[in-house]
Amino acid sequence: MRDVAIIGVGMNKWGELWESSLRDIFTEAALLAIEDAEVDHIDSMYIGCMSSGLFVGQEHLSSLLTDYLGMGPIPATRVESACSSGGLALRTGLIDVASGMNDIVLVGGVEKMTDVSVHGATFALSTAADQEYEVYHGVTFPGLYALMARAHMHRYGTTRKQLAQVAVKNHYHGSMNPLAQYPQKITAEEVIESVMVADPLRILDCSPITDGAAAVILAPLDLAKKISKKPVVKIIGSGHATDTIALHSRKDLTEIKSTERAAKIAYEMASKSPEEIHLAEVHDCFTIAEICVIEALGFAEKGKGGPATEHGMTTLGGKIPVNTSGGLKSKGHPVGATGVAQAIEITKQLRGEAGERQVKNAKVGLTQNMGGSGGSSIVHIMEVV
């Protein structure tokens, strides 16, 4: 197995991109990554996308996007794992390069979510849950995460204010990200007083509906050191795990076991511990998700994710800054692109290119991307070399 590095990154501004099509936004991000890597070709391509068929009526993205990018006839593969499609695309590209099959690989993620009604978007997203035992009975993802939040509050005393602080912190970080969909700062009071969605979660506890794309270029580490003019970011750990798709089949609603398992694999592969991670990008689709995830990753003890957030552990300047990009909450969540965008933020941080939100002396970063209510999780660990 060869060592693999990220040598190029590209991402467009996320939001409601009415005047651009799915192929437009993907191509824009891909070209930015190719330009950043300064490569003149790519050998293969992987595309993370959850549900282009339901959102824009377009499948067969492997053909469509290689054609529109002008890269045919290279092999291309569309990767789907619900909201962790981008993270799994990155892992698949990593395996391709590590195996020696290809040298220069483009990994992209894309979703165009605003071309359908709110009802249509809700339906498309609900396909990541258990259709027979959850969706049929009217449960949506806000409802599922609300159950997780209530269980966490009951067992550990997590407060409504602590949930709100996740959103406050991520919007503060996102206010320094020019590509974020919602870069405005918010207060805990605004979160708590916003419209109820599924008790105890309110609208400002939820990530938005987003159009956007992101792309990275991967290469063998030896080649990366020869051709890259920027600090080389090596992927030193990669973990992938699944759990039951339905919440009712799990022993504990407060734990995300797929993330725990994926993290264990990634930490062992990287020979790192949670204490050696300098920053992380995690899947904050809802505020309770970030609290459960930082516990699953070992950044906070079980049940202590709320107080850790409230006391500033995960903010810029804290022990382990989390979601310096603004996270899904502020940056946006075009579901197929999120996992790739997380890798872009870590790469920029490790290169020292994050501007106002730069984490001092950042050398090792982690990404955690998950599908559904934790039915699948991908964890990557990266280090600047």
Of 175, 197, 227, the residue that ends a domain is 227
Are 84 and 162 in the same domain? Answer: no
Are 215 and 341 in the same domain? Answer: no
Are 371 and 292 in the same domain? Answer: yes
Q: Which SS3 state, helix, strand or coil, does residue 143 take?
A: helix
User: Average pLDDT per run of 10 along the chain, which is 385 residues long?
Assistant: 97 97 98 97 98 97 97 97 98 98 98 95 96 95 98 98 98 98 98 98 98 98 96 98 97 98 98 98 98 98 98 98 98 98 98 98 98 98 98
Residue 305 is assigned to a structural domain of this protein: yes
* Amino acid at position 327, single letter: G
Are 243 and 356 in the same domain? Answer: yes
Domain count, the chain: 2
Residues labelled catalytic: 83, 333
Burial of 249 (0-12, 13-18, 19+ CB in 10 A): exposed
* Amino acid at position 275, single letter: E
Q: Over the stretch 164-215, which tens digit does the pLDDT of each residue have?
A: 999 999 999 999 999 999 999 999 999 999 999 999 999 999 999 999 999 9
Are 280 and 354 in the same domain? Answer: yes
Are 172 and 26 in the same domain? Answer: no
**Domain region containing 337:** 141-206+236-384
Report how far apart the first and last C-alpha atoms of the chain are (Å, whole number). 18
Residue 130 is assigned to a structural domain of this protein: no
Are 48 and 152 in the same domain? Answer: no
Residue 337 is assigned to a structural domain of this protein: yes
Are 293 and 368 in the same domain? Answer: yes
DSSP string spanning 215-247? EEEEEEHHHHHHH-SS--EEEEEEEEEE--SSG
pTM of the model: 0.98
How much is the pLDDT for 22?
A: 98
> CA 183, CA 344: separation in Å to the nearest integer?
18
Are 164 and 305 in the same domain? Answer: yes
> CA 383, CA 370: separation in Å to the nearest integer?
21
Residue 106 is assigned to a structural domain of this protein: yes
Residue 297 is assigned to a structural domain of this protein: yes
Share of the chain above pLDDT 90, in %: 100
Are 360 and 257 in the same domain? Answer: yes
Of 170, 193, 227, the residue that ends a domain is 227
Residue 131 is assigned to a structural domain of this protein: no
Are 171 and 46 in the same domain? Answer: no
CATH number at residue 223: 3.40.47.10
How much is the pLDDT for 320?
A: 98
Nearest CA to 41 among 18, 69, 4?
69
Residue 251 is assigned to a structural domain of this protein: yes
Residue 77 is assigned to a structural domain of this protein: yes
How much is the pLDDT for 292?
A: 98
Q: Are 103 and 4 in contact (CB under 8 A)?
A: no
Tell me how many degrees the CA angle 285-288-294 measures, rounded to the nearest 5. 90
Task: Calculate the CA 369 to chain-centre distance.
Answer: 4
Are 17 and 113 in the same domain? Answer: yes
Q: Helices (H), strands (E): how many in the chain?
A: 14, 11
Q: Over the stretch 40-76, which tens digit does the pLDDT of each residue have?
A: 999 999 999 999 999 999 999 999 999 999 999 999 9
How much is the pLDDT for 106?
A: 98
